[in-house]
Structure 1
């Protein structure tokens, strides 16, 4: 997990979760844009991925603030990464991402300057449908997915908001090659345990004295647990398990809840279709 401004009152705060099997490191950008979080991820051979998370507040329309964002985008592309993924709430409601232009003739607007920065750095922006809506408000595309190659994003889905948020959840696949080194999982084969000797060892222990009534419950429990684990390691064989394929339904959600989530996503999509 990587975070920025979560424990402070500065800005909105950024949070990024990364699979523990990936080799990821946080990096500090030179451009002093208030809310940005960048990490690098090692890919196959000499390839490396730069992942950025950005929040641009709509309450600051100063030229200096927006110039820093433009400079940050340029800095990211100049760092020599083979793969770039920059995400976040950029709050540019006036940009039409299907045509890559803005309303009216304002070449010096912050929106046009941002579009020019993406084009000058040969970056692609993948979200084209509204990502934020509330009540009778006009839906807007505020949350962006920016890469340095057009084919890096696939299977993009606009899902229902999380909790009471008015921003949709973006689900997508990022296409790259990476060797994921998963730690082997050791499974206990309880059905092959030698429980005859297990019980014999348990019977040798003077439980009356070991689990003394004068001891705290925690102390007695920890002693019992230590003995149990030690005997388990001696009399229950283990096997190294290798995960094949991708797990489905990792979280213990029942069928009814999954159906409600599916229904919520369907109803949510009607807001912008």
Structure 2
């Protein structure tokens, strides 16, 4: 934050306020280039002294500042006031399924696997399917037999 006298800059468009054209280096283009390279933004877009924006508020976290305003005129420049959001939203932890393998019905899983290989996998079509299709069938079987034969907690 500070008092920068870049009177010719229109901070909304980043052009020359008087002519609407590009700025020269002496008018503030160098400052705008530095801000752009640093990923920073100037947040004050309203006049802070007469019709000029002289008090700048430069930050790399523009989304963290809300309700930027100038409440009173206590000096020759307006005082800048802003609320800083310093809390991050809580991330929701996704629900997970944990299998209790020690309590699995492995005899039934072996029986299901024998039946699966005879009836669904090696049924004369395994050489005509693509590798992805074969993997999808095997993967689907493994998921189904786990869900049916092994207890799980969420």
More strand per residue: 1 or 2?
1
TM-score (normalizing by structure 2): 0.50
TM-score of the aligned structures, taking structure 1 as reference length: 0.29
Of structures 1 and 2, the one scoring higher in RCO (CA 8 A, sep 6+) is: 2
